[in-house]
Amino acid sequence: MSHVNEPANEVETLRGGYSPTLAWLRKWLFTTDHKEVGLLYFWTSLWFVAIGGALAGLMRTQLAFPAPWDILSASAYNQAVSMHGLIMVLLFLSPLGAAFSNYFVPLQIGAKDVAYPRFNAFSYWMYLMGGIVMISGFFAPGGAAQAGWTNYAPLDSTLFSPGPGETLVGLGLLLLWGSLTMGGVNLIVTILTMRAPGMTWKKMPPFTWMTLFTQLLLLFSVPSIFVGTLALISDRVFGTVFFLNTAGSTILWENMWWFFGHPEVYVVVLPAFGAIAEVFMVFTGRPLYAKKALLISVGIILMPFSFSIYAHHMFLTGINALQREFIDLNTEINTLPSGLLVVCMALTAVGGTIKFKAPFTFAVAALVVFIIGGITGVFDSSVLLDQELRGTYQVVGHFHYIMVGAAEFGLMAAIYYWLPKWTGMMYSAAIAKLHFITSFVFFNMTFFPMFYLLEMPRRVYTYLASTSWGNINFIETLGAYGFIAAQVLLLYVLVQAFRHKGTPAPPNPWNSSGPEWTSDTKSYLDNYPAVYASPPSGQSAPHVMTAENSRPFTISVGVGLACIGLILWWPLLLIGTVLGVYGVYGWAKDDLNGAFTMPGEEKAGETWPFKQNPGETFGQWRMKVGTWLFLASDLVFFSAIAGLLIFVRLHLTDWPAVGSVFNIPMVTLNTLILVTSGLALMFALQDAKEGKGSEMTRWLVATLILGGSFLIISGFEWVDQFAKQFTFSSGMPGSTFYLLTGISGAHVFAGLLMLAYVIKKAISGKFTRENHFSIRLFSLFWMFVIAMVVILFPAIYLM
Amino acid sequence: MQKNLIIATWSWIVITILIEVAAVPYLSTAQWAVRGTVESLVALSAVIPMILFYMGLWEEHRSLKMFVVVSLFFCADLLLIWSASSVH
Amino acid sequence: MPGSAALTASVLQTPPPSAQLFANVYNWYYYLGIASGAITFALILFILYRYRSRAGKEIAADKTRENRETWKGPLVTFALMGIVLVAVGAQTFIALPTYQNPPKNPGSMDVAVTGQQFFWSFTYPNNKSSTILVVPVGNEVILNVTSKDVNHQFGIPDFRVKTDAIPGRHNIVWIQPNSVANYTIQCFELCGVGHATMITTLAVVPQATFETWYNSTGST
């Protein structure tokens, strides 16, 4: 029997004597265990795919016949197509990959959990809340967002999308970006620092490698769209004009969106390929072919190039011809690692003994379908061909072959492969076979005909009977119905397994050499009683520890309610804010009281090329690595802001003269006040190192006072500008000023909250000469913020 | 000793910010791209010593190294501003 | 709108030069794409068949995940892919200047195209405006495309010509109609509820018919 459904008395032992129902609720709402969080991601992503799939069914029903067939109106169809894209990419495929990453990466590297378990739970709840906020648009007046999943400007502005639906999507996306950033830092730090002794980079399984690449892609692509979404919300809620300006609004949005959007497609595909690699090894009995070459080409070619080729989505916008050709070339180069992926998988089987079980057949299907998707993508990489193919069903066919075909079939392989590990049960081979055949046949029936529709525009709710598209669309609709119906079989398999009906599976039914299979399924909270180098010889004694914390849930629900309340019903905004603040305060209190304990303090295993410093505990060192990683992401975030500013200034020559709007002496002084707060902090740090507790506390308080003064004076500056009619809507100068100072101010505010926590710790006498780690960590963040403000200062005020 | 270095770093940042403000009239004739580049580079020259010092990338002869780096940046800043002011 | 009696030949008697150029390049991608795909499928099918599990032919599963490092296979893969990619890419780059740059022959006409929710309007050199694009056969027409409100995309599928219509920007495409016929113009970028119905016609007419229409007052 697996750990997931423990007998009632064990649950009570671990959960402190609550009634079974309450214990079950507490377990799933408050868990921080990576395995349970992984399962939360899994079931939530399936719930979202049901919604996205229903929308697809509606769309295909509408497209089955030409005009005047209109069971869906144009507006309803546009809502369906926009939300379908957002849900499928961001709320289904990406989180489904995260489900496997969360569950298996610690098991594969021999770690007890991820680096920051509470942040892990927080990522999940923010994802769920973000999705709910986005979908709540369907219940809002005017309906859900209808500007496409790409939300192009100015269609996404209040002028052309007046209802709250688009704003709800923007707010939901903000929660999602936060979730992805936290998740990225978490998984990367886990992989960098928590590998067991013996788990070198070379030995690391391909699925963990692909997770690492995926999270790195996310960490550096999300900041761009984070800023874009903030600007969009700023437009829609506060009246700025970023995306209502003919001086480049459209192109500005497209750049910010696709800088994220293109790496995102690799984010979706790479975890699936990690799973495919694992499955190929196990079901052919052979090691992965050319693993090093494959990983190097993905890490060194695919990843960086994916950032430089995004403008192939913008070939028709009128960008420079030389740029287009450069991007055409780079896009072609980027197909090389993808091709290598296919070849390496195929050659892995050479010399092996292939067992055609469900995981393997799905993996092969994913590969085959990926080839078609990849080749059709090469068509779109051509600047010339794209000029006809852009905006047509050829593109729709191409990306569905990649997204549904490669990613989804790959992840289905993962589901069948790892189902015995999750549930201790084996699926019915007959049903799996039927599921495979129907899915594969109906998938191709739905999407292959699209390559013959290279003149039919995308996102149209109807088409004329005089075109020849009716028959093809009808076939596609039948295929879609079949594909959706086929997934009922998967649902049946899952429900049976999770309810422990059917054939139990042995601990390692595939005889896999993967490290995750050697962990004891029965041990609930600890993953490995021993290090990876020698497999565990017996079951570890269960020990009671805390792997639950309510704050991630509370904060996320608060934030989600606040977002919905902001747009739809203000009492929710109040409730949400109170909940969120309560949760944050509770989190800090937990830390001060040591209420949340990590699964035992361990020593570092394999950490090359990073080294733990002497005098730091393992937990402290992990916090430091994570902080540096987060700051790197924050740096990209500020670079995106700088990029926005540069773009705007280069397009808009009409700008107020320097000194005509701002009080230069005052803002200079204010900046110097913030810089001086850094001086005070450095003095505090110096005093901490010398063990001078009371001086240290005084300098910390001075930092707080100076930082707080900076914020207050900035607040007065805002009020003063408003009085002078320089508001959010004062053209681009106003928009950029308020966005930049708002974001900087938010960073300062967050820093002050952290500082308050640090001061509380100082006053409670928690710091010593040897151990004042919180101050050092905080100073990293504060110095970063000061550096950003110093660099932005001339950009905002002196130009 | 350490606190003196902290004060020195802070002083340099203050001086750089004042240079930026003072440079505005000299840069007023230049194009925005030129002005932007110059001001940004001057701002960077404020931040880089801060980073170097914070990361403790020099352990010996700190004061001397600091003085040299800061002086170089100071000269570079003035040179940048002077050359940008003559560009139209 | 010129009467239908003025239209003689059926659509697509001779594809316009831009469509022919497109078809040439497309065929390179198409045939090389099918070939690459077919070869890869064949390789995979062969491997699956050759190494399938048979009684007595089982091998011991690999328990150590030993390295199977090589650069030979990857480099060969890159080389073969590279050849195909260079071959197709070259076709694009060779044809691109002709495809993109209007030859600006004498007799070429500039027409301003404006997309808005939810129709296209065309403005001629004599400031005549129309919601249908009427052009004389045989002459080059340079289209200057922009938008009045949101993003649209101006496409003439039969000519294989398309460009974004972006507010504040002007994108140039050109066509060389060589048959008297009607062609479809449609919007290809989601622009709101009227996106699917933002359809109009490119009416290629004989020179004389065009002259008459061009000089008449009032929009059509």
Q: Tell me the backbone φ, ψ of residue C130, rounded to 5 degrees.
A: -155, 155
Exposure of A177 in the CB half-sphere (CA atoms within 13 A): 23
Is the pTM higher than 0.90? The answer reads: yes
A266 by DSSP, 3-state: which? helix
Is pLDDT of A530 > 70?
Answer: no
Kindly tell me if the per-residue pLDDT of A305 is higher than 50.
Answer: yes
Complex ipTM: 0.91
Which helix or strand (DSSP H or E) is residue A606 part of?
none
Domain with CATH 1.20.210.10 in chain A: 31-518
Q: Which of A649, A672, A679 is opposite residue B6, by nearest beta carbon? A: A679
Say if residue A229's pLDDT is above 60. Answer: yes
Distance CA A732, CA A662 (A): 15
**What's the pLDDT at C1?**
29
User: Letter for the amino acid at A651?
Assistant: H
pLDDT tens sequence across A599-643: 555 677 888 878 887 778 888 888 999 999 999 999 999 999 999
State which H helix or E strand residue A135 sits in. Answer: helix A117-135
pLDDT of residue A592: 84
The minimal CB distance from A798 to the residues B39, B44, B47 is found for B39
So what's the architecture of C109-215 in CATH?
Sandwich (2.60)
In angstroms, what separates the C-alpha of A230 from chain B's closest C-alpha?
Answer: 24
3-state secondary structure of A656: coil
Where do the CATH 1.20.120.80 domains begin and end in chain A? 654-799
Query: Higher model confidence: residue A756 or residue B82?
Result: A756
pLDDT of C218 reads 57
What mean pLDDT is predicted for residues A330-346?
A: 95
pLDDT (0 to 100) of residue A239: 92
* CA of A282 vs chain C CAs: smallest distance (Å): 8
Six-digit token string for A745? 């101010």
Q: pLDDT at position A535, please?
A: 28
Q: pLDDT grade, residue A674 (50/70/90)? A: very high
* Residue in B with minimal Cα distance to A666: B21
Residues of C in contact with A154 (CB under 8 A): 149-151, 167
Mean per-residue pLDDT for A260-283? 95
**What is the reported pLDDT for A514?**
86
The Cβ of residue C142 has, within 10 Å, a number of other Cβ atoms equal to 16
Q: What is the pLDDT of residue C6?
A: 28
The whole-angstrom separation of Cα A403 and Cα C123 is: 42
Give the mean model confidence (pLDDT) for residues A331-353.
94
Distance from CA of B84 to the nearest CA of A (A): 14
Task: Considering only the beta carbons, identify the residue of C47, C64, C150 that sits closest to A160.
Answer: C150
pLDDT value for C57: 73
What pLDDT, on a 0 to 100 scale, did the predictor assign at position C14?
A: 80
| pLDDT digit string, tens, across residues A191-211 | 999 998 888 998 899 999 999
Q: Chain A to chain B, count of Cβ pairs less than 8 Å apart?
A: 71
Instruction: Measure CB to CB from residue C69 to each of A291, A383, A385 and give the nearest one.
Output: A291
Distance between CA A212 and CA A225 in Å, rounded? 21
Q: Give the residue ranges of chain C where pLDDT is below 70.
A: 1-13, 217-220
Give me the sheet containing C161-165, strands edge to edge.
Answer: C133-136, C199-205, C182-187, C152-156, C161-165
Q: Do A372 and C150 make contact, defined as CB atoms within 8 angstroms?
A: no
Measure C45 CA to nearest chain A CA, in Å.
Answer: 9
Q: Does the pLDDT of residue A253 top 90, yes or no?
A: yes
Query: What mean pLDDT value characterizes chain A?
Result: 90
Distances (CA, A) of A433 to A284, A489, A511, A647, C17: 19, 10, 21, 54, 50
Q: List chain A residues with CB under 8 Å of B17.
A: 668, 671-672, 675, 790, 793
pLDDT of residue A527: 61
Instruction: Determine, for residues A349 and C93 on separate chains, whether the beta-carbon distance falls below 8 Å.
Output: no
SS3 call for C172: strand
Give the pLDDT confidence of A8-34 residue by residue, as tens digits.
344 444 455 678 888 888 889 998 889
* A116-135 pLDDT, tens digit each: 999 999 999 999 999 999 99
Q: In which element (H, E) is residue C122 found?
A: strand C119-123
What is the rounded CA–CA span in Å between residue B70 and residue A678? 19
Query: Which chain A residues have a beta carbon less than 8 Å from that of B12?
Result: none
Q: pLDDT: is A170 or C101 the higher one?
A: A170
What part of C 119-158 touches A (C-beta under 8 Å)? 149-151, 153, 155, 157
- Strand, coil or helix: C206: coil
Per-residue pLDDT at A546: 52
Tell me the fold of A31-518. Answer: Cytochrome C Oxidase; Chain A (1.20.210)
Nearest chain C Cα distance for residue A603, angstroms = 26
Residue A407: pLDDT over 60: yes
Q: Tell me the mean pLDDT in the region B73-86.
A: 78
- B81 pLDDT higher than 90: no
Is residue C185 within 8 Å of C120, Cβ to Cβ? yes
H and E: helices and strands count for chain B: 3, 0
Residue B16 confidence (pLDDT) above 80: yes
What pLDDT shows up at residue A615? Answer: 76
| Distance in angstroms (rounded) separating the CA atoms of residues A97 and A211 | 8
Chain A touched by B83 (CB under 8 Å): no
CATH of domain A654-799: 1.20.120.80
Mean of pLDDT values over A309-335: 92
Q: Is the peptide bond before A138 cis (omega within 30 degrees of 0)?
A: no
Of A573-582, A745-754, B20-29, B55-64, which range is least confident?
A: B55-64
DSSP secondary structure string for all residues of A406-458:
IIIHHHHHHHHHHHHHHHSEEPPHHHHHHHHHHHHHHHHHHHGGGGG-TTSBT
Whether residue A793 has pLDDT greater than 60: yes
Which of A672, A552, A645 is CA-nearest to residue A252? A645
Max Cα-Cα span within chain B: 46
